[in-house]
Chain A
């Protein structure tokens, strides 16, 4: 059987991920549908450490898989932002690399809105 650890740990991890996801919004993470569903599922099956019930093990496995999903997506996005998120340099920045500046043309170039 897969080494899942304790259900309490999985739940704590899930709640932490939900907290991170909702940190930027004003909304508390306890208001989300995901939180309500998870708490209902964990309470309803009162998962203990004894692997007696196969259904309990299945649910714990699904919870652990979801935790892995949330965690890895968060870390992937963070890595993307840090290393691959900058996009192209603007024309001003590119000129600045070699010590040049763009010409100023007061009055615009004529085709700008």
Chain B
């Protein structure tokens, strides 16, 4: 008997809720097995859809999973296809971002998303400086100042940096300019931007990624500058440092790619170039 999508989910849920079922260890209980053979993409009315065997993928809130960009659909399909015995949802960052955009579980509108992102400026990592040790002060100056300078020139605003415990004081005009810049992005792209800002703990670094100024590896390194400094000094702990580094890179890369693929200008240009 072929089990449907929901019957299968129910079967897993029953096992998870019933620890007395023998032979099932805690880890196996918490992960779903891969239940599909083929992953494919079709184009529907609302955009591109993902099919797991012949069932259409749905979001956690049971909406039909559609994405506006073919490249994004292929990348999501690749995420699903690369799962082996169990489905590791925590590695499927693009799928998660799409689900968030489709379901909007926090129910935020465009304004709220923009404000959430710009709020990070007040405690922006690369504006918030230490006073000692001197080598770290130098490192922060040499690595972070150029990025701030570039951003200030690009947007015609003042950002600056500060060693005060209150953080940098961002002029109201700077905030206005950045808010209106972000307003030019669509809702999906904004979900991605807010995600990247929250991961890197820096609005300025996120802007650098959106403006093709920094690679993901560079942005992550700059975000983790103090950690890298301490690692150089005291040593690297693979199961903690590398683990976090790779996770941050994965999330930042996913968010950045998501924004670029969802920004209408790039999709449009791509289409024009293909004709």
Contact = CB atoms under 8 A, between A and B. Distances in A.
Q: A and B, one complex?
A: yes
Contacts of B246: 72-73, 75-76, 79
A72 B253 contact: yes
A77 B215 contact: no
B77 A33 contact: yes
A4 B214 CA distance: 9
A65 interface: yes
A45 B212 CA distance: 18
B250 A76 contact: yes
A3 B247 CA distance: 22
Contacts of B82: 21
Interface string B24-56: 011110000000000011000000000000000
> Which applies to chain B's interface (DSSP): helix, strand, loop or mixed?
helix
A87 B27 contact: yes
A62 B267 CA distance: 12
Contacts of B25: 87-88, 90
Interface string A50-76: 000001011101101110110111011
Given A58-B266, A79-B243, A90-B25, A68 B81 contact: no
A64 B27 CA distance: 34
B273 interface: yes
Nearest to A53: B273
Contacts of A58: 212, 260, 266, 269
Contacts of B27: 85-88
Given A34-B78, A65-B256, A68-B249, A2 B215 contact: yes
Contacts of A80: 243
A96 to B, nearest CB: 16
Number of contact residues on A: which range applies?
Answer: 35 or more
Contacts of A62: 71, 257, 260-261, 266
Contact of B269 (A55, A69, A76): A55
A102 interface: no
Contact of B253 (A21, A32, A57, A69): A69
B250 A33 contact: no
A77 B70 CA distance: 26
A64 B209 CA distance: 12
A83 B240 CA distance: 9
A73 B250 contact: yes
Nearest to A61: B212
Contacts of A1: 212-213
Given A69-B253, A69-B254, A84 B78 contact: no
A72 B28 CA distance: 24
Given A21-B82, A62-B261, A4 B74 contact: no
A85 B81 CA distance: 21
A88 B26 contact: yes
Interface in B50-87: 70-71, 74-75, 77-78, 81-82, 84
Contacts of B20: 111
Contact of B74 (A3, A33, A61, A64): A33
Contacts of A76: 91, 243, 246-247, 250
A111 to B, nearest CB: 8
Contacts of B218: 2-3
A80 B86 CA distance: 14
Interface of A: 1-4, 21, 24, 32-34, 37, 41, 44-45, 55, 57-59, 61-62, 64-66, 68-69, 71-73, 75-77, 79-80, 82-88, 90, 111-113
A-B pairs with lowest CB-CB distance, top 5:
A87-B27, A69-B253, A72-B249, A83-B239, A76-B246
